[in-house]
Amino acid sequence: AQSVAQPEDQVNVAEGNPLTVKCTYSVSGNPYLFWYVQYPNRGLQFLLKYITGDNLVKGSYGFEAEFNKSQTSFHLKKPSALVSDSALYFCAVRDLLPAGFKTIFGAGTRLFVKA
């Protein structure tokens, strides 16, 4: 069965420290992988995506993510966290089915960055 897992409900990090938000996936075929961010009372905003090519993907607001096929992971990272990064982060995977319309979202990880 296709699935996405975000094993941490919440991640706490001090401002200026590196952050990692974890995501693992299980799909058939080659996946498209995404990270979205949701700030309070807002819709989701696209951060970055992996389709093919380099395993390290750079996205908006200084975020990057590393695709690891052997570990079926796509962890989101940032070298130096900001208080304004505090938000809800969703990992998503889109499987390349013939219809191509299935997008699976993780349950979300809430990131708290403390000053």
Residues that bind other proteins (CB under 8 A): 9, 32, 34, 36, 41-46, 49, 51, 90, 92, 94, 96, 99-103, 105-108
Q: How near is the Cβ of 60 to other proteins at its closest, in Å? A: 11
| Closer by beta carbon to other proteins, 31 or else 81 | 31
- Residue 35: strand, helix, or coil: strand
CA 46 – CA 114 distance, rounded (Å): 24
User: Please, are residues 77 and 65 in contact by the beta-carbon 8 Å criterion?
Assistant: yes
- Residue 71: strand, helix, or coil: coil
| Closer by beta carbon to other proteins, 27 or else 108 | 108
